[in-house]
Amino acid sequence: MKKEIFIGMFVGLIANAMGLFIAANLLGQGDDFTTVIKAAANEGFLGKLISLGAVLNLVAFFVFIRKKQDYRARGVLLITVFIALFTFVFKLF
């Protein structure tokens, strides 16, 4: 059971990283990834960019639900909640 939750958490992290990369490339106007991330941090919308990257977690969650892999879906959900809390704390400071 714990192994399945950790697999879901890993998939959630990978999906979020891929979503962040895709969002940065789409919104970056042709700049490279590190430049977009630095500009987002300087302009104060890095939290929004990370939250936008978490959209792919939704896809992973529903794939696991459809395959009846509830513990993996729970891991994805835990990572999504963690990302939401992280962006909330990041926004405060």
Residue 85 has pLDDT above 90, yes or no: yes
Whole-number pLDDT of residue 62: 96
pLDDT tens per residue across span 23-60: 999 888 878 899 999 998 898 888 888 888 899 999 99
What does the mean pLDDT of the chain come to? 92
Residue 10 has pLDDT above 80, yes or no: yes
* Burial (0-12, 13-18, 19+ Cβ within 10 Å), 57: buried
Secondary structure of the chain as H, E, C letters:
CHHHHHHHHHHHHHHHHHHHHHHHHHHCCCCCHHHHHHHHHHHCCHHHHHHHHCHHHHHHHHHHHHCCCHHHHHHHHHHHHHHHHHHHHHHHC
